[in-house]
Structure 1
Amino acid sequence: MIRLSGVSRTFTTKSGTVEALRDITLQVGDGEFVAVLGRSGCGKSTMLRIIAGLLPATGGAVTIGEEAVRRPRRDVAMMFQRPALLPWSTVLDNVLLPVKIFGRRVAEHRPRAFELLELTGLSGFERRMPHELSGGMQQRVALCRSLITDPKVMLMDEPFSALDALTREELAGELQKLHMDNHATTVFVTHSIDEAVLLADRVVVLSPRPGRIREILEIKIPRPRTLGRTTHLEEVARCSADLHELLMS
């Protein structure tokens, strides 16, 4: 579904050039959930923006399906660290925003919007305004907005990083359920080892800048997963320890 072939990116600044990514080659299969993990400044977000068509690569190529990525696509949704909701619009209108932007019939997507709000625990909040919601609830709205058009590809740039630990774990659990339901091909950038183990089929570990693929760890733990006490607790701990060692070494 997604293929990166020798992707590199260099930025030119007043003080010189900065090499953010070097020779990233990666294939993400149809319906696969891949987490990208690494230290701050290693190029994770840059890589995601290149896949989204928001930023050109200075070397290499990206394809989705058989089509080269040169600009944003309607079948690719992007979710950022901040929810970026329209403050003058209700929860329901914020969720339906992509439908309106793409010129589709709002009435046809309204039932799906209500379904997503119920799945994310926001049933009954449809008429609320963003300022009436907690940070976690606002990010749930952003998640619903990303899914409203049933995108083939979901790109997520540390969407839960600004939230407290318990809310992050709760939202990660909801995202896991949604992915099991819709099977969108997902690339999820995170600093959190726990999120990576909980959500991903594979975890791509990037080296410090310039970001290069240091290791790809396959997570073979059956879904649904939890960080609590289960029969797979030992396997969860082993995967977390392996990722910790890769990041610290």
Structure 2
Amino acid sequence: MIGLTGVSRTFTSRSGTTVALQGIDLHIAEGEFVAVVGRSGCGKSTLLRLIAGLLPVTEGVITIGGERVTGARRDVAMLFQRPALLPWRSVLDNVLLPVEIFGWDTSQHRQRAHQLLETAGLGGFEKHRPHELSGGMQQRVALCRSLMGEPRVLLMDEPFSALDALTRAELAVELQRIHRENAATVVFVTHAIDEAVLLADRVVVLSPRPGRIREVVGIDIPRPRTPGRTAHLAEVARFSADLHELLMEPSGSAPVRTDGR
């Protein structure tokens, strides 16, 4: 589904040149949920923007469904740290915003908007304004909005980082359910190791700048996964500990993988 081959990104300014990402080779299967972790400044958000076509690559090639990414695409949606809802619009109208932007028939998409809100536990809040919702509810509205166009790829840049721990855990469980029902390919950037283990099929660990793939860890824990006391609590703890150790290793002390599989 998503292929990155020899991808690098360099930023140039008056103060000099910064290599954000270098030599990224990564292949993500259709319907897979991949989390990306790494220290601050390692290029995680840059990686998402490259996949989304919001930034051009300096070197290498990115493809989605076999087609080269050269700009923003309608079948790719991106969810940011902040929900960025329009305060003067109702919940339903915020979810329907992409329909207006792309000129789709509103009457044909209104039912899907209602279904998404029901799926996200927001049934009955269609007429509310964003300021009447909690932070977690606002982020659910933003998630519903991103799913309106039935994207093949959903890119998520630390979407739960501004929320309290309990709300983050609740949304992590909710996101697993929504992912199963919508079957989009997800790339999820997070600083939270436990969150990555709960959500992902694989976790990509980036090295400090320039960001390169240090390791790709497969998370073979049955779903659904929860942060509470479950039969798989020991496995979740083990994977979390392994990822913490990888991230704590000094730069250059561990081999960097190049296959990204």
Q: TM-score w.r.t. structure 2 length? A: 0.94
Q: CA deviation digits over 1:10-33, x for unaligned, max 9?
A: 101221011100000000001000
What letter matches 2:236 in structure 1? V
What letter matches 2:167 in structure 1? T
Distance (whole Å) between structure 2 residues aligned to residue 51 and residue 215 of structure 1: 19
> Who is 2:237 aligned against?
237
Q: CA deviation digits over 1:35-73, x for unaligned, max 9?
A: 000111000000000000000010111000111001110
Q: Say whether residues 1:157 and 2:160 are aligned partners.
A: no
> Who is 2:259 aligned against?
none
Q: Say whether residues 1:212 and 2:215 are aligned partners.
A: no
Aligned-pair distance for 1:86?
Answer: 1.1
Distance (whole Å) between structure 1 residues aligned to residue 134 and residue 238 of structure 2: 34
How many correspondences in the alignment? 249
Q: Say whether residues 1:73 and 2:59 are aligned partners.
A: no
In structure 1, list runs of 5 or more residues that go unmatched. Answer: none
* RMSD (Å) for aligned C-alpha atoms: 0.8
The ranges of structure 1 where at least 4 consecutive aligned residues each deviate by more than 3 angstroms after the TM superposition are none
Within a 5 Å distance, the mapping from 1:131-146 to structure 2 comes to 131-146=131-146
Aligned-pair distance for 1:82?
Answer: 0.6
Structure 1 stretch 57-66 or stretch 98-107: which is displaced more? 98-107
What letter matches 2:144 in structure 1? C
Q: Say whether residues 1:83 and 2:93 are aligned partners.
A: no
Aligned-pair distance for 1:227?
Answer: 1.5
> Who is 2:187 aligned against?
187
Distance (whole Å) between structure 2 residues aligned to residue 70 and residue 124 of structure 1: 40
State the secondary structure of the residue aligned to 1:203: strand
Distance (whole Å) between structure 2 residues aligned to residue 195 and residue 236 of structure 1: 10
Q: TM-score w.r.t. structure 1 length? A: 0.98
Within a 5 Å distance, the mapping from 1:111-122 to structure 2 comes to 111-122=111-122
Distance (whole Å) between structure 2 residues aligned to residue 170 and residue 233 of structure 1: 16
Aligned-pair distance for 1:181?
Answer: 1.1
> Who is 2:24 aligned against?
24
Distance (whole Å) between structure 1 residues aligned to residue 18 and residue 83 of structure 2: 29
